[in-house]
Amino acid sequence: MCIILPFNVNAQKINWLTFEEAIELNKANPKKIFIDVYTDWCGWCTKMDQTTFTDSEVVEYMNENFYPVKLNAEQQEPIEYNGYTFKFIPQGRRGAHQLAASLLQGKMSYPSYVFMNEEEKLITILPGYMKAPEFITILEFIGSDSFLSMPFEEFKNKNTDTIKQ
């Protein structure tokens, strides 16, 4: 007897949330918040989705240690946060969502990743595509709070065994 199982039977995925969902969950069970700021037309954003964000180590660490958020920088729907309504502002042929502009401090580059602590304060903003080995090291650096006590290069050098070449 031959049993054929689908290739992705045990495939894990990042449990993406909306910004509002992450903020609400953070109230009851504080965790760091990771925000992937992307656009539909961004090729490198798609590549992150297809490669890095499907890596099993990234998926597991992200789901365990962060509230992962997908935020389309050009979404039309308003977002309520801290008593303010963030809206889409048309500009030329496109435009940008005010929340994305605020989180990225006006540096509208895609993809960009925003890390916030449990108190919803900015830790850092990182732009650009990253391969899984580099990205997991960054997740561990921030997720473990090592960023509070050492520079990234020192952390990276101490943890070279976790970096896949």
- What distance in Å separates the CA atoms of residue 64 and residue 45, rounded to the nearest whole number? 22
The pLDDT confidence band at residue 158, using thresholds 50, 70 and 90, is confident
In this prediction the pTM is 0.88
Report pLDDT digits (tens) over 112-137.
999 999 999 999 999 999 999 999 99
Residue 68 exposed, middle or buried by CB count within 10 Å (0-12, 13-18, 19+):
buried
Grouping H, G, I as helix, E, B as strand and the rest as coil, residue 88 is strand
Q: Tell which CATH classification among 3.40.30.10, 3.40.50.1580, 3.10.129.10, 3.40.50.150 matches the domain 19-130.
A: 3.40.30.10
Q: Which residue ranges make up each domain of the chain?
A: 19-130
Residue 6's pLDDT is: 47
Residue 10 reports pLDDT greater than 90: no
The pLDDT confidence band at residue 93, using thresholds 50, 70 and 90, is confident
